Structure 1
Amino acid sequence: MTPLARAEQLAQSIGLAAGAVGGASVDQYENPTPDSEWRVKDLVNHIAVMLVLTRDVGTRTAWDPALLAANPVPLLAGRPESEWAPLVNSQAEPAARAWSEPAAWQGEVGFGGPPMPAEALGEILIAEFAIHAWDVAVATGQHLDVPESLANTMLGTYAREAPRMRSLGLLADEVPQDVHAPLFERALALSGRNPRWGSPRAGGGKGCS
């Protein structure tokens, strides 16, 4: 895949995450999510962190490691929750734009861990933004339409990166899944999520990952 194609998929994935955040109402912020340790509010904050770091890493701008543990992130701190979604959405375009140049996909970068190839990190970001879009969507009763090409990229990324990410405590254990299941469901399972999970508050059945 060319850097341009990767950049387009990253923008697409960021758009899914920002759209899911925008579609969640504040009164759903305490809803449970597929990650048992996080509520929707925590996921919104995490997506905000990811957007800021994606922008800064893409432009090779120095960033404060304390951002990784900030809850809420400075972007959201002191602001009413009713303003969180617009603030998150304001960071989507700058984050995508930072990776729109081929140079962003070259060399090595750091994202809170040891330096790694920018190309590999960019592909992880493609997968993670879409996964978190699903986390928010399923926790708040939204439909998420993930293009087949994006799901295919996600599946390939998790097939390659999930063991390492799991060893670092970044992913839960893989959920058994039918090899003939849709690509996106297989990517969810590889990331440690149960594709059948549903929030009781969003009208779905109970589940866990």
Structure 2
Amino acid sequence: MGEIAERYRRRAEAFERKVAAVRPDQWDNQSPCEKWTAKDVVDHIVMMHGVMLMPVARTLEPAGDSLTAFQEARAAVEDVLDDPVLALTETDTPSGRLTTEQHIDQVISDDLVLHGWDLARATGQDETMDPDDVELLWATASAVPPDVMEKLRTPGAFGEGIEVYGPEVPVPPDAPLQDRLLGMIGRQP
């Protein structure tokens, strides 16, 4: 198993634990994403898994509850990551030409960490992100050129209804790295 597949599995496992811990009365809780409930966060993650599968002609079948839908989406992505031909298939993305595994790594694998925090916040779970993930995501987000960051903050820049980052939330420079990362992407730590 490669580094990308291993990272995805670890992050997906952490996200799945959060989904499994949501009580039935919490699915309508407001998330830190202004327009989303806790259920919407999971629905977004599942939908984005489907988007990552499209370049390799894979699709997701609609599932019932949120946990089952995520588990099925996760299994489909893991199947792709385990197949060297599919994992290394190149496709054009908004970030340029990438292999399927690179695209998965840059989009949904990172989303599992960030939206895992959103789900935890919405449902009163432990909000602590893996410190290694925080460092990696901080390094990636910090390296984004200002003009690209502005585009990431512009609603609809990547398609109708798509918002990548919100407006930056000021966080003290000596705050924990997780808080600085969350502020950078538009979350109130």
Report the TM-score range of the alignment, normalised by the length of the smaller protein: 0.7 to 0.9
Which whole-Å CA distance do the structure 1 matches of 2:142 and 2:104 have between them? 14
Write the deviation string for residues 105-132 of structure 1: whole angstroms up to 9, x where unpaired: 563343xx57543436622333211111
Q: Contact (CA 8 Å) 1:17, 1:130: kept in 2 or not?
A: yes
Q: Give the C-alpha shift of residue 136 in structure 1.
A: 0.7
Q: Structure with the greater relative contact order (CA < 8 A, sep ≥ 6): 1 or 2?
A: 1
CA offsets per residue over residues 149-191 of structure 1, 9 Å max, x none?
A: 1111111222234704224242111112233333322221221
Alpha-carbon spacing, 1:36–1:141, altered in 2? closer, same or farther (3 Å): same
Identity, % of aligned positions = 21
Structure 1 CA distance for aligned equivalents of residues 98 and 175 of structure 2 = 31
Residues 62 and 6 of structure 1: is their aligned pair in 2 closer, same or farther, counting only changes over 3 Å? Answer: closer
Structure 2 counterparts to residues 41-190 of structure 1, below 5 A: 41-54=39-52, 56-57=53-54, 60-61=56-57, 75-76=62-63, 79=64, 83-100=65-82, 104=87, 107-110=90-93, 113=94, 115-118=96-99, 119=102, 122-161=105-144, 163=149, 164-167=151-154, 168=157, 169-190=163-184
Give the Å deviation of 1:194.
0.9
Q: Which moved more, 1:89-98 or 1:42-51?
A: 89-98
Matched residue type, 2:98:
P
Normalised TM-score (structure 2): 0.76
* Gapped regions of structure 1 (runs ≥ 5): 64-72, 196-209
Q: Which runs of 5+ in 2 are unaligned?
A: 158-162
- Alpha-carbon shift at residue 137 of structure 1 (Å): 0.8
AA in 2 matched with 1:60: V
CA RMSD of aligned residues (A): 2.8
Residues 4, 74 of structure 1: alpha-carbon distance in 2 compared, 3 angstrom cutoff: closer
Q: TM-score, normalised by structure 1?
A: 0.70
Q: Is the 8 A contact 1:127 1:157 kept in 2?
A: no
